[in-house]
Amino acid sequence: MKAIILAGGKGTRLRPLTHTGAKQLVPVANKPILWYGIEDLVEAGITDIGIIISPETGKEVQAKTGNGDRFGAHISYILQEDPAGLAHAVKIAQPFLQDSAFVMYLGDNLVQSGLTSFLNDFKARQLDALTLLCPVPNPTAFGVACVDDQGRVLKLVEKPKVPPSNLALVGIYLFDRVIHEAIANIQPSARGELEITDAIQYLVDQKSKVEARQIQGWWLDTGKKDDLLEANRVILDTCLTADNRGDVDEASQLIGRVNIGAGSQIKNCTIRGPVAIGENCYLENCFIGPYSSVASQSTLINVDLEHSVLLEGAKIVDIHQRIVDSLVGQRARITEAPQRPKAVRLMIGDDSQVELV
């Protein structure tokens, strides 16, 4: 069994961050989103993984993620020149996949359920395709499945105006090799892409064995700022463990689950968890509230921060009003002039500099 993870695309919903970086590398609880998917696959016993990358961000994905050694996997990189659809990504990955059954995993998704039970079910029932589903309150925003009582997929519709169900396609699929034949027999959609939903529908129409299973627990799509902040909140809430490997002075107070990386210095700060602080950070005279992640190499001085994500190397100095619900890019700089607003909400791209006046 092999796997492909889709880590291409333009990430338009997370701009300006994704003008300069891959959306799959934006951290949740100080770990790139992409890595959660890799870890899920390895935990399920799949270690031969191909990552689909784009020309714009592929080198960054490759440099950050490496050859797979850190995960106990072997990672190959497959260039998709144009974002021509999920089924197109499978098509260009065929030389890597060959005749193997495989998992297709969208690299900006996070799921609480492990993959092992679904993988075992797929193999035991000798299915041609297995899609994972999650009930959602707004099915018009997703690909939606109509399923019978035995779990057989009857129909798939991409972002329907009148949804046949509230069961959204999670973005994790298990396929046998017959999916390649299906992709060869579909045409681009109205938006000019080869849709994986059309390929699965082709299998359904051909009476192939196509089934679906609902995941247990949460599913998080991290495509937009608020979604990413919610993913950060959920991961910190459910997965973070307290661990202090930094230097915390006696004037500071750590409350609840706080994880501080090696080399970080905390001076005269109150940190109320769950909070993750990376390595080699410097924090002085700060209050860091719940559901905040501060990536490595960041500096915060005289800052009140809550429910926010700071990427690597961010620097915030002398901000005397609370920063909330914010996403701050790599190496961004935020400082304040004398006049003070009551609060700020920010989404700042990499290498930006903001002065509040």
Q: What is the mean pLDDT of residues 119-126?
A: 95
Q: Which listed CATH number (3.40.50.10490, 3.90.550.10, 3.40.190.10, 3.40.50.2300) goes with 2-230? A: 3.90.550.10
Least confident among 119-123, 127-131, 303-307, 326-330: 326-330
Residues 6 or more apart whose Cβ sits within 8 Å of residue 15 = 349
Identify the pLDDT of residue 341: 54
Give the chain's mean pLDDT.
89
3-state secondary structure of 71: helix
pLDDT greater at residue 47 or residue 189: 47
The band of 347, judged by pLDDT with boundaries at 50, 70 and 90, is low
Identify the pLDDT of residue 226: 83
Q: How far apart are alpha carbons 310 and 30 in whole angstroms?
A: 9
The band of 190, judged by pLDDT with boundaries at 50, 70 and 90, is confident
Q: What is the mean pLDDT of residues 322-344?
A: 78
Identify the pLDDT of residue 351: 62
Express each pLDDT in 223-240 by its tens digit: 677 888 998 999 999 999
Q: Which of 300, 256, 253 shows the shortest CA–CA distance to 280? A: 300
What's the CATH number for 240-356?
2.160.10.10
Percent of the chain with pLDDT over 70: 90
Give the global pTM.
0.88
Q: What is the mean pLDDT of residues 292-297?
A: 97
3-state secondary structure of 12: helix
DSSP-derived secondary structure for 239-276:
H---EE-SEE-TT-EEESSEEE-TT-EEES-EEESSEE
Express each pLDDT in 303-315 by its tens digit: 999 999 999 999 9
Q: Which of 187-191, 333-337, 351-355 has the highest mean pLDDT?
A: 187-191
Given a cut of 70, is residue 346 above it in pLDDT?
Answer: no
Least confident among 47-56, 155-164, 233-242: 155-164
HSE of 75 in the Cβ direction (CA atoms, 13 Å)? 26
Q: How far apart are alpha carbons 202 and 305 in whole angstroms?
A: 50
Identify the pLDDT of residue 348: 64
Least confident among 16-30, 109-123, 172-186: 16-30
Given a cut of 80, is residue 86 above it in pLDDT?
Answer: yes
DSSP-derived secondary structure for 16-36:
THHHHS-GGGSEETTEEHHHH
Percent of the chain with pLDDT over 90: 68
Given a cut of 80, is residue 172 above it in pLDDT?
Answer: yes
Q: What is the mean pLDDT of residues 268-277?
A: 97
Q: How far apart are alpha carbons 184 and 77 in whole angstroms?
A: 23
Q: Where are the chain's structural domains?
A: 2-230, 240-356
Identify the pLDDT of residue 15: 45
The band of 112, judged by pLDDT with boundaries at 50, 70 and 90, is confident
Type of residue found at 242: A
The band of 343, judged by pLDDT with boundaries at 50, 70 and 90, is low
Burial class (CB in 10 A: 0-12, 13-18, 19+), 63: exposed
Q: How far apart are alpha carbons 303 and 41 in whole angstroms?
A: 39
The band of 11, judged by pLDDT with boundaries at 50, 70 and 90, is very low
Q: How far apart are alpha carbons 232 and 153 in whole angstroms?
A: 32
pLDDT greater at residue 95 or residue 191: 95
